[in-house]
Structure 1
Amino acid sequence: MKNWLTVKEGDRPLIVSFPHTGTMLPEDIAHNFVSPELARRDTDWWVDQLYAFAADMGATLVHTAISRSVIDANRDPSGASLYPGQNTTNLCPLTTFDNQPLYRAGHEPKETEIAHRRDAFHAPYHHAIEDQISRLKATHAKVVLYDAHSIRSQIPHLFEGLLPVYNVGSNYKTTCAPELAERIETICAASDQPSVLDGRFRGGWTVRHHGQPENGVHAVQMELSCRGYLREPIGSVSEADWPVPFDPDFAAPMIETLKQVLAACLAFAETP
């Protein structure tokens, strides 16, 4: 296995993928960024720790250590926008979520460099997911792919106001069975935290590409607002106050809800 790609295999029909928790900046790329801190600012901080319980449930975990600022594993490899008409970031982002330049002037990646990163990091990550889907489909009629994300609660460049705490994405109930998406949203709503199904974040390329409910592969994205599990400074952030440390006690209520969510995914997948 590549040193930046980790797969922990489980036997139950659930795959949890982590496309944005990585902070690795390859040496031949790192010097092109304005700063390492800025290049890592939009990381899905501590999400892999938040779901540490998933392996004990028998889930398979797929994780890339490459920073999303190098290449975003949840973007269409063709470069096509997943959210036409809305502000978003590219396959190889040029700006942060707050629309700050990531690269020093004149050091932005050219097409040949983007193609190299796609072949080196994006394709192997999704091949790993495909391999795990195939492995689990050999013994299970249904498999759930759960794409785990988080984002700061307030980013005016990307969305208005405060984002709901739980953002369930099924691309309008096309990447998974509608009853699975609805069950997950019901669990989130019962937490008494704001939740939405197919709102601003209705699912990125991972769930849209791999989700094939007609073939027994049900994919769902969970975008968590950071305030749900971190003592997040709401609004703009800087190196001085972001990221904040992971505190398991503070995150405990959300962890309990997420355990229920993954249990529901397994119950769905294991029910004939």
Structure 2
Amino acid sequence: MRSDYWDQPAFETIRPRRLVAPVVFNSPHSGRVYPERFLAMTRLDHLSIRQSEDAFVDELFARAPHLGAPLLRAHFPRAYLDVNREPWELDPTMFVEPLSDRFNTTSPRVAAGLGTLARVVAENKPIYRERLTLDDARMRIEGIYHPYHAALQKLLSESMAGFGLAVLIDCHSMPRLGRHGERATPDIVLGDRYGTTCAPALVDLVETVFTSAGLRVARNRPYAGGFCTRAYGRPQHGVHALQIEVSRHLYMNEVTLEKNAGFEIVRGLMERLILTLIGLDLVALAGTIGAPEQLAAE
């Protein structure tokens, strides 16, 4: 089956002219290029199908390459393919053919309709008119999912080779949590899989950037970090992964998916975060976020 992105890139790596820090930014859910074939398969209108997007997150972090850190961003939408899942996390009710035991068909994400190929978008709206074929799943997973993760792994490996450690910042947005006006509702959720994927000193630093701007920050609840955080975060091997969820109401209208007056403020805050991360004194922090013998030689 020919790729739905045969005539355009499904994703892109935006590299800095000079890599100045071992930080990699990843925006896997902000894609908004919807293939015509996919749109013909869905029962949803053009606005409804976009409800699962982390809309404009790639733009919030767009300054990263200009400041010396690479940005990997999807152009394909999350409703089409979710690279923040296991590669074959599939719902058997979505396919014409039966799925063998090699597929993960029983995960909580599949049960919620949010597997590698999602069954629903926000508010449990079914995406497809008819069932899919396994050829369609293979086209997306073998043709896009695996190359995407190969590109991400390459960036992290380059950071390890150049600096002796790597820091993955997995960039996401979330619906506004709680009821309007509820004081305890977080603006930012940081996910490090309950302290297992990122050095505490790094998480503390990121939290301070946000709290200093007057934002409310929560850790790991309700988002502890998805597949990318879990799969790549190996602090004991010098690879740290932290998921950042930004509440959409801060920068956009969640119904119309249009930027609001807060967009430039949030983008400026993300630039401050990027500058903070790439300005880290790695030697001073070697004892907490990296391998001291490797960093001492930098």
Question: What's 2:29 paired with?
Answer: 20
Determine which of 12, 22, 25 is the counterpart of 1:6.
Answer: 12
Alpha-carbon distance between aligned partners in 2 of 1:84 and 1:259, rounded to the nearest angstrom: 32
Kindly provide the CA deviation profile for residues 66-119 of structure 1, in whole angstroms up to 9, marking residues without a partner as x: 011111111122315776799572211111121111112xx2334443233111
User: Under a length normalisation based on structure 2, what TM-score does the superposition of the two structures give?
Assistant: 0.77
The alpha-carbon deviation at position 218 of structure 1 amounts to 0.9
| C-alpha displacement of 1:269 | 7.2
* 2:99 paired residue number: none
Cα distance in 1, alignment partners of residues 85 and 178 from structure 2: 19
- Report Cα offsets for 1:128-186 as digits up to 9, x if no partner: 00111112221111211111111221589xxx998521111111111111211122123
Query: Residue 45 of structure 1 contacts residue 150 of structure 1 at CA under 8 Å; is this kept in 2?
Result: yes
> Percent identity over the alignment?
25
Q: Does 1:260 align with 2:272?
A: yes
CA distance in 2, matches of 1:228, 1:151: 10
Tell me the SS of whatever aligns to 1:209: helix
Cα RMSD for the two superposed structures: 2.8
1:1-272 alignment, distance < 5 Å:
3-10=9-16, 11-12=19-20, 13-35=22-44, 36-79=46-89, 87=112, 89-104=114-129, 107-154=130-177, 164-230=186-252, 232=253, 237=255, 242-244=256-258, 246=259, 250-268=262-280, 270-271=282-283, 272=286
1:154–1:100 CA distance, 2 compared to 1 (3 A): farther
Task: Pick closer, same or farther for the CA change 1:84–1:51 going to 2, 3 Å.
Answer: closer
Taking the aligned partners of 1:39 and 1:161, their CA distance within structure 2 comes to 31
CA contact (8 A) 1:150 1:225 kept: yes
* Alpha-carbon spacing, 1:162–1:6, altered in 2? closer, same or farther (3 Å): farther
Q: Which runs of 5+ in 1 are unaligned?
A: none
CA–CA distance in structure 2, aligned partners of residues 163 and 112 of structure 1: 43
Q: CA deviation at 1:270?
A: 3.2
In structure 1, what is the Cα distance between the partners aligned to 2:272 and 2:172?
17
User: Could you list the runs of 5+ residues in structure 2 that have no partner in the other structure?
Assistant: 1-5, 90-103, 287-298
Aligned to 1:21, what secondary structure does the other structure show? coil
Distance in 2, Cα, partners of 1:209 & 1:28? 31
Q: How many residues align?
A: 257
SS in 2 for 1:41: helix
Q: Distance in 1 between matches of 2:71 and 2:41?
A: 31
Contact 2:68/2:278 (CA < 8 Å) preserved in 1? no
Q: Cα deviations across residues 200-227 of structure 1 (Å, max 9, x unaligned)?
A: 1111111111111122111111111111
TM-aligned CA distance change 1:62 to 1:188, over 3 Å: same
Greater gyration radius: 2
Give the SS at the match of 1:74. Answer: coil
Q: Distance in 2 between matches of 1:217 and 1:269?
A: 17
After TM superposition, the score normalised by the length of structure 1 is 0.84
